[in-house]
């Protein structure tokens, strides 16, 4: 049977050559799109870990000529008066690294050969409450924690999973990150660049660590509004802050919109790629259908003969479908050969499993389309009555 089919294929090598090429190219495109898609889907599935839906970000300019005590008093007053505004649920100050802001600060430390690398976020005592962080263990820093011997830090779950996977509890551990720091809490998740960012180890530092570096004061705030009040609180906050800081440079942004903007660099190419490949697939399916339809209808005499010799419609259908599937296999084989080079030679800095998923998904999709496109004309042809077909010739 197989020998017979291969002979048939070889006899029609010209038109099969084009189908082969088409399958090969389609596989390459699909493989790329699937691998990219799976990779980003995997990242998207890891949660952000904080609430942004009703929050706004605020940037203000605190005058440079104030001394540090006056700055602290001003910040306390800003927080107090912001919370008193109608519609405001909670407010917090944070350092220059804000969610969806596109900034990355990171630091590494080498503790007697134990190397760790972590992203840095600086925030004040109200951060966990305003962003509704969920804790795996411990708690957020309080005033009391900052008065202790060690600077307190809070880390995210990924930090523990990556560097201390076997430890039962991290609370009260003293570790080396820019000096000795005491872990007082572990949040479940916190990844802040975008939904498509990689979940990486991260550490929250308290205002005490920030001030120790002699940096300029926190000039960003996150204000969480009561549900539905997000747009309404923007103008009162603007008026309040520009009068308190005596500077009109107050910029307010909606965090929900900021998230969409931060996701855009992945979402836009993804949407474009998916819609283009969907179009290519439809195009290929229709084209293949047309080609097979013409080809098969040219072989009516052959079908009639086979049926007259006792072949069932099922057998005829299987023969036609198998013919096309064989050509497809040849194309896919060559495609897979090229595709596996990507993870094997580590051409791209993406985990290998996504490429294997991509290969499998692309093979399945193409086979499905080919079988569907071959099945319909084959079945139609197989249903022909031998007397009718043979009579025509």
Name the residues that contact other proteins, by CB under 8 A: 14-15, 18-19, 21-22, 25-26, 28-29, 64, 234-235, 238, 242, 248-253, 276, 279-280, 282-284, 286-291, 294-295, 298
Of the two residues 36 and 122, which places its CB atom closer to other proteins in the complex?
36
Q: How far is the CB of 167 from other proteins (least distance, A)?
A: 33
- Element (H or E) spanning 120, and its range? strand 114-122
Q: What share of the chain is helix, strand, coil (3-state, %, to 5)?
A: 55, 15, 30
Longest dimension (CA), the chain: 104
Cβ closest to other proteins, residue 158 vs residue 259:
259
In the block, tokens 């599937």 appear at: 325
In whole angstroms, the minimum distance from the beta carbon of 272 to other proteins comes to: 9
Residue owning tokens 């924690």: 145
Residue 289 near residue 373 (C-beta atoms within 8 A): yes
- How far is it, in rounded angstroms, from Cα 256 to Cα 222? 12
Question: Tokens 């190219």 label which residue?
Answer: 25
- The smaller minimum CB distance to other proteins, of residues 298 and 391, is found at 298
d(CA 265, CA 186): 30
Identify the residue whose tokens are 């993870």. Answer: 343
CB of 34 to other proteins, least distance (A): 15
C-beta of 250 vs 322, nearer to other proteins: 250
If the CB atoms of residues 70 and 271 are measured against other proteins, the closer one turns out to be 271
Nearer to other proteins, 271 or 360 (CB): 271
- Written as one string, the DSSP assignment of 219-259 is -EEEEEEPTT-TTTTHHHHHHHHHHHTT-S--EEEEHHHHH
Alpha carbons 271 and 210: distance in angstroms, whole number: 41
Q: What is d(CA 390, CA 360) in angstroms, rounded to the nearest whole number?
A: 43
User: What's the rounded Cα separation, in Å, for the pair 123 and 52?
Assistant: 16
Shortest separation between residue 143's beta carbon and other proteins, angstroms: 33
Are residues 29 and 23 in contact, defined by beta-carbon separation less than 8 angstroms? Answer: no
Give me the least distance between CB of 203 and other proteins, in Å please. Answer: 22
Q: Identify which of residues 207 and 331 has a Cβ nearer to other proteins in the complex.
A: 331
Q: C-beta of 301: minimal distance to other proteins in Å?
A: 13
| Region of 386 on the Ramachandran plot (φ > 0 left; ψ -120 to 50 alpha; else beta) | alpha
Whether residue 91 contacts residue 221, with contact meaning beta carbons closer than 8 Å, is answered with: yes
Closest distance of CB 14 from other proteins, Å: 8
Q: Nearest distance from residue 54's CB to other proteins, in Å? A: 17
Closer CB to other proteins, 105 or 279, in the complex: 279
């Amino acid at each position: 049977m197989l020998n017979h089919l291969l002979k048939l294929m070889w006899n029609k090598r010209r038109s099969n050559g084009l189908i082969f090429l088409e399958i090969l190219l389609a596989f390459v495109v699909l493989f790329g799109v699937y691998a990219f898609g799976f990779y980003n889907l995997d990242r998207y599935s890891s949660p952000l870990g904080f609430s942004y839906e009703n929050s706004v970000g605020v940037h203000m300019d605190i005058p440079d000529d104030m001394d540090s005590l006056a700055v602290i008093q001003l910040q306390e007053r800003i927080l107090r008066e912001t919370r008193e505004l109608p519609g405001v649920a909670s407010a917090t100050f944070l350092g220059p690294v804000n969610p969806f802001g596109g900034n990355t600060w990171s630091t590494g430390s080498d503790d007697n050969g134990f190397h760790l690398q972590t992203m840095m976020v600086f925030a004040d005592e109200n951060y966990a409450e305003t962003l509704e962080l969920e804790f795996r263990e411990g708690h957020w820093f309080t005033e009391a924690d900052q008065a202790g011997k060690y600077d307190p830090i809070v880390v995210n779950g990924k930090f523990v999973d990556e560097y201390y996977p076997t430890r039962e509890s991290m609370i009260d551990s003293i570790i080396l990150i820019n000096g000795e720091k005491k872990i007082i809490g572990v949040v479940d998740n916190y990844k802040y660049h975008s939904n498509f960012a990689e979940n990486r180890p991260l550490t929250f530092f308290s205002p005490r660590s920030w001030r120790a570096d002699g940096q300029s004061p926190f000039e960003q705030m996150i204000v969480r509004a009561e549900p539905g009040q997000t747009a309404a609180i923007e103008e009162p906050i603007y008026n309040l802050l520009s009068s308190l800081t005596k500077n009109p440079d107050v910029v307010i942004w909606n965090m929900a919109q900021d998230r969409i903007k931060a996701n855009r660099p992945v979402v836009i190419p993804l949407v474009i790629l998916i819609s283009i490949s969907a179009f290519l697939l439809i195009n290929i399916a229709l084209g293949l259908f047309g080609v097979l339809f013409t080809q098969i209808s040219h072989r009516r005499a052959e079908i009639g003969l086979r049926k007259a010799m006792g072949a069932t419609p099922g057998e005829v259908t299987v023969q036609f479908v198998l013919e096309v599937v064989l050509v497809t296999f040849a194309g896919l084989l060559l495609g897979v050969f090229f595709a596996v080079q990507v993870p094997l030679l580590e051409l791209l800095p993406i985990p290998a499993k996504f490429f294997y998923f991509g290969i499998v998904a692309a093979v399945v999709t193409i086979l499905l389309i080919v079988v569907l496109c071959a099945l319909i004309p084959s079945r139609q042809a197989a249903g022909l009555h031998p007397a009718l077909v043979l009579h025509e010739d």
